[in-house]
Structure 1
Amino acid sequence: MKKQFQNWAWCQGMKFNTKVHDLTYFFWETTLCCNLNCLHCGSDCDKDKRVEDLPKEKVLKVFKNIAENYEAKDIMVAVTGGEPLVRKDLFEILSEVNNMGFPWGMVTNGMLVDEKIVEKCVESGMRTVSVSLDGTGETHNWLRNNEMSYERAINALKLFLKAGKFDIVEVITCVNTQNINQLEDIYKLLKNLGVHGWRLFTIFPKGRAEVNGNLIFNKNLLTELFSFIKEKRNSNSGIYISYSEEGYLGCNWEKEVRDDFFFCGAGINIGSLLADGSYSACPSLSRDWIQGHVDEISFSEAWESRYRNMRNRRWMRTGDCKSCRQWSKCNGSSLHLWDFKEKKTKVCHFKMLND
């Protein structure tokens, strides 16, 4: 009952946040080009450009507009892709973004990280870095489709940690049917390396993961993962461990596998600039959620006048959601799981865990 009341109070606070919609987190999808060809890639990225990268001048125009209308120092910029480091003018842009007052961090597969890259990260003001590590040795290389990927990811972690210049050096792991039995080994590895945090994701059906459906969890595997995370969080291991913002889980698991109750901040406190110049929220969302383009409207204008379908989600209450008593806590789950064609969420974690 205590947790149920806490969850209710949390939901009331999130309703207020939705009305205010303060921008606090901003994704910059630098490119859809990548030097890997991962089996689970939600963006279906590859080495050949399908979308031309937005030019430097237009990228900086967006950041300048945000800085002029909001407090840059209060907006964390998450630099993602594709693989950000394949973009040639990446650090030129990020140096200027840093000079505008934005804190920023990057997600990388580690393939291109060497001492010079680490120096550029320091010089351009990087605060945090997340390196993808999806198993031990062969399992990681299999998912990432490259026999050098594991070695390069470990090397990147060592170099970022050795620099001692970043607030957070963490690992992101996409947990799947092939690596769930290696979680303890990965945990020991990360402790030995001295990483600060470990964020665990489950793979959702988008992009290549829709084709490789054998990577996606059922109830038993999801419960096994949550039990592992809960046990490690309770052990005061020295590594911050958390499950991703991936759907409402129900009171048995909420605040057990992550710090707060579920809340999808897409379009509420999270915005993004996509590789082609479109505005959205997190890049994991389908392109059906796009709210405008840099050539059409400034980001601040779009943020204040659009994003309505993200902030009022009652239109999503269809099908099983229509009669669900958890709706006020879930609001249709994470927006990246919404299927516009089927008019329903692709994955309901609460239903999966409680059926």
Structure 2
Amino acid sequence: MKSERPEIIEFYLHEGHGIFYAMNPDLPGWITGSKKALDTIRLCNGNRTPEQILDELEKNYLLPRDVLAKEMEILFENLEKNGFIKGIGVSPPEYERSLDTLYLHLTRDCTLRCRYCYIEGGEILKNELTTVEIKDVLDQAMALNKTRLLVAVTGGEPMIHPDFWEIAEYIKSKGCPMTLATNGTLVTAENAPKLKEYFYNIQVSLDGPRDVHDSMRGKGSYDMAIEAMRRLTSAGAHVMISAVVSKHNLDSIYHVVDVAVELGIEHIKTGIFLPFGKGAEEKALALTESEFGEFWHKMQKSMQEKLSKGQNVQVANDINKVSFLQPIYYSKHSCGAAIGALSVDADGSVYPCQSAHLPEFLAGNVREMPLEKIWRDSEVFRIWCEATIDDIKECEPCDWRRYCGGGCRMQVYAFTGRLDKPVMFCSFLKDFFPKSVDAYLEYLVKQRADRDTEKEEK
């Protein structure tokens, strides 16, 4: 133990199900434990030595001193590692900037004309990058990566590009894992197995039942999306349903959970409607905070019903950052935009992320300067990199600030026109996070009970 008279910092505490969860708001620091461990922590007031703490524990717990000492040693190792003890310096992790994700828009051309398309897809641009230029962008991006570059192939509808397979083969030859975002209209029984071989994850857009989906994306698009997912899952591909949530589908969004179960799809990605691109003319579709809460509760209820029947479905979005299904992590930023990711439009324009394709966030163009120079010297990227949770005054008193990161910056920008404000669903998240922690504790207790049952049966 490094401290002669250990004193614990102020921390967030949640007790439930006979155990506790403690979180250091300023670090990626959190621990769970029993009532005895919490009693030990409360004895660390800066006035007692470790031996005196043991004396107090011996009075309260009928256990041998050596057993208590061993437990306390393990507890203090965790407390020190997670920054809970005053005077023991534990710094927040510094993430080395590396381009880990490249959003590659092959074309603006598309088979559909979705009413709220943020990229304004539909017609091919006159000055889109050639296939040779697209390959060069990949080569430049790989030089900015320190581990393994993930390439998210998107559009428009990327499969409509005349050299789609040639580009996919080139990316694969470089050893880069790929994801594909598609509306499903060009997926066939013949190409589904090939898509499975090239892309480790394929996102297919689905916004609700047939009438709802078709009214936003075009008549017949629902049936084509469903058939595409059937073909892909039959081919063994990992499919994720991608849904845009708006007022239009608020009452029927849970339908995508039913589809996921029917087709054996385990992951659903949801994103709220943002009034960018074509969506600028559909601002009435934007959710209010109460509607967002309504949406999430409906989705949670639907998922829980499926899970109770042994049907595994998970929803991925910002509010699952704190979830008993996913580890809690530290973040000064809400995402990797401009820090670990960038987006290249079909004409070579470069942006911090795929949702930030706006004139004010244009960082440069690969036809005018090397990608490395844009990445290193762009004023837009500098602003995004330096914009952290520490700049959001409203977030200063919040225990969850380092885990939420302030929320998606483009969601914030869509409704405030600024990057230094908290996400509009802030109060909902503050209510949701503790509930997730409680669910996490319940999960731990159940795991322990299951292990004990297995031991007894043996």
**Any unmatched runs of 5+ in structure 1?**
none
Once the two structures are TM-superposed, the CA of residue 4 in structure 1 deviates from its matched residue by 7.7
* 1:55 corresponds to: 130
The normalised TM-score by structure 1 is 0.83
- Kindly report which structure 2 residues correspond to 1:110-189, keeping only aligned pairs within 5 A, or say none: 110-122=184-196, 125-144=198-217, 146-164=218-236, 166=237, 168-189=238-259
Contact 2:192 2:232 in 1 (8 A): yes
Summarize deviations over 1:190-212 as a string: whole Å, max 9, x none: 10111131111211221222321
Report the secondary structure of 2:141's partner residue.
Answer: helix
* 1:44 corresponds to: 120
Residue in structure 2 matching 1:298, options 341, 348, 370: 370
Q: Please report the RMSD computed on the Cα atoms of aligned residues, expressed in angstroms.
A: 3.3
Contact 2:243 2:271 in 1 (8 A): yes
- Mean alpha-carbon deviation: is it higher for 289-298 or for 200-209? 289-298
Cα pair distance change 1:161/1:96, threshold 3 Å: same
Query: Does residue 1:266 correspond to 2:333, yes or no?
Result: no
- Kindly report which structure 2 residues correspond to 1:1-355, keeping only aligned pairs within 5 A, or say none: 1-2=12-13, 5=23, 8-10=26-28, 16-17=93-94, 19-46=95-122, 48-71=123-146, 74-122=148-196, 125-144=198-217, 146-164=218-236, 166=237, 168-231=238-301, 236=307, 238-245=311-318, 255-256=322-323, 259=326, 260=328, 263-285=334-356, 286-306=358-378, 307-313=381-387, 317=391, 321-325=392-396, 326=398, 329=402, 333-337=407-411, 338=413, 342-343=417-418, 348-350=424-426
Q: Work out the percentage of aligned pairs sharing the same amino acid.
A: 22
Query: What is the distance in 2 between the residues matched to 1:204 and 1:346?
Result: 16
Summarize deviations over 1:137-175 as a string: whole Å, max 9, x none: 11110011x2110000001000101111x3x21101112
Q: Which amino acid aligns with 1:270?
A: A
Query: What is the distance in 2 between the residues matched to 1:4 and 1:178?
Result: 40
Summarize deviations over 1:205-258 as a string: whole Å, max 9, x none: 21222321232111222111222344456564544422424xxx6xxx752498
Q: Which amino acid aligns with 1:40?
A: Y
The normalised TM-score by structure 2 is 0.65
Q: Which has the higher contact order (CA 8 A, sep 6+)?
A: 1
- Mean alpha-carbon deviation: is it higher for 341-350 or for 202-211? 341-350
Cα pair distance change 1:242/1:15, threshold 3 Å: farther
Report the secondary structure of 1:130's partner residue.
Answer: strand
* 2:36 corresponds to: none
Q: Which amino acid aligns with 2:366?
A: V
Query: What is the distance in 2 between the residues matched to 1:354 and 1:7?
Result: 13
Query: What is the distance in 2 between the residues matched to 1:226 and 1:311?
Result: 30
Q: Which amino acid aligns with 1:225?
A: F
Structure with higher Rg: it is: 2
Cα pair distance change 1:224/1:10, threshold 3 Å: farther
Contact 1:176 1:217 in 2 (8 A): yes
Contact 2:207 2:253 in 1 (8 A): no
Q: Which amino acid aligns with 2:212?
A: T
Report the secondary structure of 2:102's partner residue.
Answer: strand
Q: Which amino acid aligns with 1:291?
A: A
Query: What is the distance in 2 between the residues matched to 1:93 and 1:332?
Result: 36
Cα pair distance change 1:104/1:6, threshold 3 Å: farther
Contact 2:102 2:141 in 1 (8 A): no
**Any unmatched runs of 5+ in structure 2?**
1-11, 14-20, 30-81, 83-89, 432-458
Once the two structures are TM-superposed, the CA of residue 44 in structure 1 deviates from its matched residue by 1.9
Query: What is the distance in 2 between the residues matched to 1:298 and 1:240?
Result: 42
